[in-house]
Amino acid sequence: MIAAAQALIRSLAERGLAGSRVLEAMAAIPRERFVPDPLQAHAWEDIALPIGQGQTISQPAVVAQMTEALAVGDRMKVLEIGTGSGYQTAILAKLARRVYTIERHQPLLKGAEAMLASLRIANVTAKFGDGGLGWPEQAPFDRVMVTAAADGDVPATLLAQVKDGGILVVPVAHSPVDQRLYRLTRHGDHFDREELGPVRFVPLVTGQAGPEVPRARSLG
């Protein structure tokens, strides 16, 4: 597994997808711990893998690209929409001061919380809820990452929670077969928008996928 991890990180570096700080964070997080047991042999292949609830853990190349585009500093507060398995959360936590993450599938959130705790990643606060609403009580955020495809455009509720000078990275679905990744940088009431290329994500769905009321829990 160590050799496979090293080979993948080296491949990402050779392709220029991320700088050393992001790649070091990715190398420090055991991706195999975040995928179902039957798929662990494939954890360090450059592919997306199913994690249950109709969701996936993103392809490492996409993780590298999105994390690099977010340009996270070690004093920053980051909002992540879509915790999933917690893999991207863990990488962000290695780079940021604090990560706030929202997941609408409670079984995934419970698994992610347990895994992050087992890895002693303590600078994450997780919430079961509607990611499309963001986390207004903790806004504004230096950085926002959305790991599901917004339909047509970025939700205004998320744009409003980006700090002036902050960055939001989000995939947007323009049609069922056309998704593109964007980096939006806030300048007052204006956002500079940069297209970063085609991607493929599950859709950003509003509401919660479970009966429980939203709750937040700090892991440290």
State the DSSP string of 42-80: GTTSSS-EEEETTEEEPPHHHHHHHHHHHT--TT-EEEE
Give, in order, the Cα–Cα distances in Å from 145 to each of 14, 77, 100, 104, 136: 24, 11, 10, 15, 15
Per DSSP bridges, beta strands 49-52 and 178-187 are unpaired
Could you say which of 58, 85, 175, 218 is catalytic? 58
- Unique residue bearing structure tokens 């995928």: 35
85 in catalytic set: no
- Calpha distance 184→168 (Å, rounded): 5
Instruction: Quote the CA–CA distance of 45 and 22 in Å, as a whole number.
Output: 18
Residue 173 tokens, joined = 């679905």
CA distances (Å), origin 100, targets 36, 121, 142, 198, 208: 24, 13, 11, 26, 17
168, 183 contact by CB (below 8 A) = yes
Strands 77-81 and 150-151: unpaired
Catalytic residues: 58
